Amino acid sequence: MDWFLQQLINGLALGSIYALIALGYTMVYGVLRFINFAHSDVLMLGAFSAYFLAPAVEKIIPLPSIAGALIIVLLSAVICAGIGMLIEFLAYRPLRSRPKLTVLITAIGVSLFIEFTCQHPAVLGADTKSFPRLLVENDLHLGGLVIGSNDLVIVATTLLLLAGLWFIVQHTKTGTAMRAVSFNQQAAALMGININRIIAFTFGLGSALAAVAGILYAMKAPGIDPLMGVQPGLRAFVAAVLGGIGNLPGAALGGLLLGLLETYAGGTPGLSNYRDGIAFAILILILLFKPAGLLGKATVEKV
């Protein structure tokens, strides 16, 4: 029983991070209908922004502290929002009217460009760097259970951001415009919506969430490196598909499910070696049996 609950806690924390990343994939897919491969690298840049900001912030506010962590997270989110919008402007906007495949290949190119530029010794270097401690870490002991304070922070942050995102999308003018663009770009443009502005905003918002997810992921991981975003990025993409891509609650649900499944599999002897493959096996199964995802609606393609 203890084992079961312990894995539940670990799985929820991991799943929350996947959910945050998956939201970015789903939002971009919603408005532009393509997979933004570079999203996982924005996550990595978020973690590195925090890594470089931490010593600077520490001069003003001592770390680890809540105020210091908040400032670092906010600044990293702003930086990554800018990077996300820049990527959209430079690489994706010129291709807006081209076939989907062209955009997909470009996205892979952008992702590789960020990864390998950062791996270059003159930029970040390929070696693993240890992430600074942003918050005081305490373990809560409940019976036989150990709950890390970081895990609580991760789950709480995710819930807060989910609520914020839900509010933006459902109750603001920009959110309504986002939904309109996602529904029908041409019609939205005819209604006087500035498509470019909305798409840029979507990229910015998704990238900011990715930055936060990257920092949360780095707090759990032993170290950060330029390729750290690849695995969680792929998993989060699977989560987005699992929940029904383009669907915000679906992305959150998919992230949590995937995090839980992976943690339980990782804790099971015999299965643990295969945990890297589990996400993809789920992906293939879900696409075979329910291609629209758990919460998605099936669509028919016409000529």
Partner 1 sequence: MNGAKRWLIAGIILAVVISQFTGAFNRYYLGITIDIGINIILAVSLNLINGHTGQFSLGHAGFMAVGGYSAAKFTLVCAQMVPESLHPLLFLVALILGGLLAAVAGLLVGVPSLRLRGDYLAIVTLGFGEIIRVIVQNMESVGAASGLKGIPKDTTLGWTFALAAVTIYVVASLVNSTYGRGFIAVSDDEVAASSMGINPVRYKVTAFVIGAFFAGIAGGLYAHHKQFLSPTGFDFFKSIDIVVMVILGGMGRTVGVIMAAILLTILPEFLREFADYRMIIYSLLIITLMIARPQGLFTFGKKKGAVA
Residue numbers of the site for partner 1 (CB under 8 A)? 34-35, 91, 94-95, 98, 100-106, 108-113, 115-117, 119-121, 230, 234, 237-238, 241, 273-274, 276-277, 279-281, 283-284, 287-288, 291, 301-303
Closer residue to partner 1 (CB): 117 or 268: 117
Closer residue to partner 1 (CB): 167 or 274: 274
Cα–Cα distance measured from residue 236 to residue 217, given in angstroms and rounded to the nearest whole number: 12
Buried-exposed string 220-236: b where 16+ CB fall within 10 A, e elsewhere: ebeebbbbbbbebbbbb
Beta carbon of residue 113, minimum distance to partner 1 (angstroms, whole number)? 4
Closer residue to partner 1 (CB): 60 or 288: 288
Closer residue to partner 1 (CB): 29 or 51: 29
Beta carbon of residue 214, minimum distance to partner 1 (angstroms, whole number)? 20
Closer residue to partner 1 (CB): 74 or 295: 295
CA dihedral defined by 211, 214, 215, 216, rounded to 10 degrees?
Answer: 120
Beta carbon of residue 109, minimum distance to partner 1 (angstroms, whole number)? 3
CA dihedral defined by 240, 250, 156, 133, rounded to 10 degrees?
Answer: 0
Beta carbon of residue 287, minimum distance to partner 1 (angstroms, whole number)? 6
Beta carbon of residue 266, minimum distance to partner 1 (angstroms, whole number)? 13
Cβ pair 253, 46 in contact under 8 A: no
Cα–Cα distance measured from residue 297 to residue 58, given in angstroms and rounded to the nearest whole number: 48
Beta carbon of residue 210, minimum distance to partner 1 (angstroms, whole number)? 18
Closer residue to partner 1 (CB): 23 or 283: 283
Cα–Cα distance measured from residue 112 to residue 118, given in angstroms and rounded to the nearest whole number: 10
Closer residue to partner 1 (CB): 113 or 166: 113
Beta carbon of residue 80, minimum distance to partner 1 (angstroms, whole number)? 20
Beta carbon of residue 236, minimum distance to partner 1 (angstroms, whole number)? 12
